[in-house]
Amino acid sequence: MEMIDTLNPKQREAVLHTEGPLLILAGAGSGKTRVLTHRVACLIEERGVNPWNILAITFTNKAAGEMRERVDRLVKAGAGSVWVSTFHSLCVRILRRFIEYLGYENNFTIYDADDQKMLMKQVIKNLNLDPKQYRERSMMSIISKAKNELIGTEEFRKNSQGDWNLRKAADVYEAYQGELKKNNALDFDDLIFKTVDLFRVNGEVLDYYQERFRYIMVDEYQDTNTAQFELIALLARKYGNLCVVGDDDQSIYKFRGADIGNILNFEETFPGTKVIKLEQNYRSTAHILDAANAVICNNRGRKQKTLWTANEEGPLVMFRQYGQAFEEAEGVIQDILAQGRSYRDFAVLYRTNAQSRLMEEKCISYNIPYRLVGGVNFYQRKEIKDILCYLKTIANGRDDLAVQRIINVPKRGIGTSSIGKIVAWAGEQGLSFYQSCVQAASIPGMGKAAGKIQGFVSQIEDFARRNQAWELGMQEDEAFKTNGRYGLPGLIRDIVEETGYGKELEAEGEEEAKARLENIDELINKAASYCTDSENPNLNGFLEEVSLVADVDRMDDSEDRVTLMTLHSAKGLEFPVVYLSGMEDGLFPSSMSIMSEDPTDIEEERRLCYVGITRARERLTMTAAQMRMTKGETHYSKVSRFVEEIPQELVDLIRPGVRANAYASQTAKYTEKQFGTPKQFKPAAGGGTPGFGREFTIKKAAALEYGAGDRVRHGRFGEGTVQSVVDGARDFEVAVEFDRYGVKKMFASVAKLEKL
């Protein structure tokens, strides 16, 4: 067979083993997609299997599309009859044909997240439940989890006995499903749930699809949940020709319902299973793989395998420990600049979304184009914009958009009708929106809403008084700057607590809500850093500094950009050069996993580290900070246990050190005393201290040689025309319309523009 001549022995064995249950343990970068597509071709062209009897399931539309393209290239005829599908699209096709057996019409509607939220809001209202206690997102999360575990309304109610809140959730679940049924609608989780239900209640339909799909292949099997597992088990029960491909070492989606037990227990679930391990990696250098193996072997809940490669050894894995988090970010960015290769070659990976803030700011400071994957710009995230709008309102109240954004955030019972009356009154009286809020009692037709608006105004005025007291006290007493009770971090904390914004997020109880709270904590860190570094910190100055960062666009529309992303978002991707930042115990692994009584929590974190390491093809650098700010306070951190699990002979260790400031000697003594030097580490031969790890500062020029209308040249963006120059407190703020890249805003001292 010519088509398998290019496969290695284990890949070839997996392709040719076509009958019975097969578990392919495919290590990172081992060519699993190639095996799957060649296996489809082998079934059709060598085994004579009808293309329409083959089902290949993936998790994403992108993966399904890539597999479809590869199958089309390999198979000469009939490739279009192979079902290559995601779980959900497969179920939609089945339900469109047979859902009437469940009492629905086949023209059912599929509700998206917004539809679900609206319906849930209606259900909570109809049940006369307190929307502050029973929030839409929280109820949707509970129901989604139940459906993914194949728990219907009756079973959920039985399980809720003895728990008042669960009984109420059972009422919501039952009413929610009733409304969906009445509307002839399914939500996203229903697609798999109802398909399994259909197969269980109608043997003829199940038999039809068992006959149709005699050969089934499932990619990324380690990420399947209970509902997906049962769907596959039912379809494969008759012929048993089930091939699953996955890597238990890359199971990192427990928080989404993924059950690693599905792959670990596959042989017990499907007796007679053939297990084939794909351990040859085609992606990374030997040193990177050795580091990955050294980390993951510490997990107990895994199937034994060891990645190896015929690639060159490559450079050692680099570990760089900095004094503080901003030095870590600067060190990474300067190292990227020093390598002189395309920006697209680099990826900076981190454990939490909040860590992107420092990296984004450093990229902007150095005019490095970047893309933020799996999230939006830090200052464009909803929770950050909400808090910044509170601060803008406290500062002067003249920003109508800012006030309107937060007047009912969190919910205060001030509806769109009331807001419309305020807007109209402001127009008639020539007032700002906030000034009209102050006069709400005088606005005709406001009714009870006037009291709620006055409560909002009183809260803003109280925050403003506290901030003013801090600013005056700081000016009169320099010690107040660092020792004072309040300050910008305190102001933000009070906004989050006293408005109920934080409680509203906590009540949602979801991973997304937790991430949003972490982002607010990172904004507090930013405020604390600003107060420490500024000669005369004040609220307006902070908002000015933030706006300069927030308003800069995404730098470049081309593809030559550094990638910033969380480790969870990086799965399935690869880059020539990877930085794993924030390698500290308490951050990665997270403090929750360290304190958890469930040992599988720390093992999932270790798998996440393994995924991060194996994203790198040529170079891998791990970085950490001795001190990192959390919720506006500086904390000392121990090097991540995952770093310490890598043998010393694989690591090039350099600790650039902390800044030469009052913290330096204190930090060195504290760190050495508390944590010591990791025993496994020693500097690689010839290793020295690189020229980074310093604090980046802006030095304002006395004057600029160019002005508005002048032609200038930038080192990266080329030639352009100066649109405006603003004499800011810290530096001249320059806006330039570049011929190729459009308008860019930047500090003059950083941009280093040359007048033509």
For this structure, is 135 an active site residue? no
Active site residue: 250, 614, 667, 671, which one? 250
Active site residue: 219, 259, 330, 545, which one? 219
Taking residue 675's Cβ as centre, other Cβ atoms within 10 Å add up to 14
- Smallest Cα–Cα separation from 732: which of 710, 753, 713? 753
Sheet holding 754-755, edge to edge: 742-747, 732-738, 718-727, 711-714, 754-755
Active site residue: 135, 362, 561, 615, which one? 615
For this structure, is 220 an active site residue? yes
* Cβ proximity of 193 and 150 under 8 Å: yes
Furthest-apart CA pair in the chain: how many Å?
Answer: 88
Q: How far apart are CA 425 and CA 420, in angstroms?
A: 9
Lookup result for tokens 């990266």 = 716
Q: How far apart are CA 165 and CA 134, in angstroms?
A: 9
Q: How far apart are CA 31 and CA 22, in angstroms?
A: 17
Q: Which two tokens stand for residue 152?
A: 């219907």
Q: How far apart are CA 61 and CA 83, in angstroms?
A: 13
Taking residue 578's Cβ as centre, other Cβ atoms within 10 Å add up to 27
Residue 428: Cβ-neighbour burial (10 angstroms; 0-12, 13-18, 19+)? exposed
Q: How far apart are CA 408 and CA 21, in angstroms?
A: 56
Active site residue: 10, 11, 12, 32, which one? 32
Per-residue 3-state assignment (H helix, E strand, C coil) for 184-223: CEEEHHHHHHHHHHHHHHCHHHHHHHHHHCCEEEECCHHH
Sheet holding 274-278, edge to edge: 83-86, 54-58, 215-218, 242-246, 22-26, 274-278
* Cβ proximity of 432 and 426 under 8 Å: yes
Name all contacts of 13-18 with Cβ < 8 Å and 24+ positions apart: 13/276, 14/39, 14/276, 14/278, 15/39, 15/42, 16/42, 17/274, 17/276, 18/42, 18/43, 18/47, 18/49, 18/215, 18/241
SS3 state at 370: strand
Taking residue 547's Cβ as centre, other Cβ atoms within 10 Å add up to 15
For this structure, is 740 an active site residue? no
Active site residue: 13, 18, 33, 122, which one? 33
Chain-centre distance of CA 378, in angstroms? 12
* Cβ proximity of 577 and 361 under 8 Å: no
Active site residue: 136, 187, 220, 386, which one? 220
For this structure, is 219 an active site residue? yes
Residues annotated as catalytic are 32-33, 219-220, 250, 615
